[in-house]
A and B are shown apart, each in its own frame.
Chain A
Amino acid sequence: MSRDVEDLNRRLLRARDAMDRAYAEPLDVRAVAAVAYISEAHFIRSFRAAFGETPHRYLQRRRVERSMFLLRETDRSVTDICFDVGFMSLGTFSRTFREIIGETPSSYRDGHEPMVAPNCVQMWAMRPRVAAGAATAADNAVQSSSFGEAGSAAAP
């Protein structure tokens, strides 16, 4: 029994790692679920049970973290950064960013200097936290079988 749990966790972790690696690409949930060798519905359910949020939300927070990095460290335009980190539309990017960070990408950039910390530390430590209530509400608002930008458009 316990071996099964470990084996499933390990495969879910491999799928999560795949999102961390390929966040800039247009990922779809079926492809990520395939990394874990399970069906889409089972993947979404068990990912949430293991990591406390849907795969869609995890990917959004990874993309927002990477956009924060680029806003701090580079002079690229907000629009370029939006596409750099895998969002398909500026509107979705700005809305998601504001929902998670509480300010716009431009004002975040104005308030933050480049950071002297190894990249892996930034990827671990700077991924935005989301208040538990807010995350749940957002997850519920999103039709979780949807993974790409269409899903996040369901948010107000």
Chain B
Amino acid sequence: MLTRLNVASIYVLDKDEALDFYVNKLGLEKGSDFKQGDYRWLTVRVPGNPDVEINLEQPGPPLHDEATAEQIRELISKGALSGLVFHTDDARALYETLQERGVTDFTQEPIDHFYGTDMGLRDPFGNAIRILERKNAAAATA
């Protein structure tokens, strides 16, 4: 029996730039960051939620040959690869905060729906990020 999702991976074009965006702009915290030879294992996670980590993966050796890496990079920059969905307790406040931190690539400003308030943005590389403030969050988590 599976018990939990532990790590999900997304592709980014540059690990340092990704770390800066996901931590300093979006507000995640750094999880793991260590090197094994040439390979850097780098994850971020929602503060206070250490069980689920997002692995920031960069196409290229040793995972991919250069031609494969190039295809993946093109797909990332077309917005055709990864996406993440987060929850927030206040979508509009977060929208303001993100703007103050210099985030400009919003795909959707906060909009109210029957299920809550959601918004959308992209990371610097083209990956889609959705953020949802659920209505009746207590009932929904039950």
A interface with B by C-beta (< 8 Å): 2, 5-7, 9-10, 12-14, 16-17, 20-21, 50-51, 118-120
Contacts and interface: CB of A to CB of B under 8 A. Distances in A.
Contacts, number: 49
How large, as a class, is the contact surface on chain B?
20 to 34
A13 B126 contact: yes
Contacts of B115: 118
A87 B5 CA distance: 44
Contact of A118 (B73, B105, B106, B113): B113
B107 A119 contact: no
Nearest to B125: A10
A13 B118 contact: no
Given A9-B77, A13-B78, A21-B107, A120 B130 contact: yes
B78 A50 contact: yes
B118 A10 contact: no
Nearest to A16: B79
Interface string B67-82: 0001001101111000
Interface string B54-96: 0000000000000000100110111100000000000000000
Interface of B: 13, 70, 73-74, 76-79, 105-108, 111, 113, 115, 118, 120, 122, 125-126, 130, 132
A77 to B, nearest CB: 22
Given A13-B78, A51-B78, A2 B107 contact: no
B108 to A, nearest CB: 7
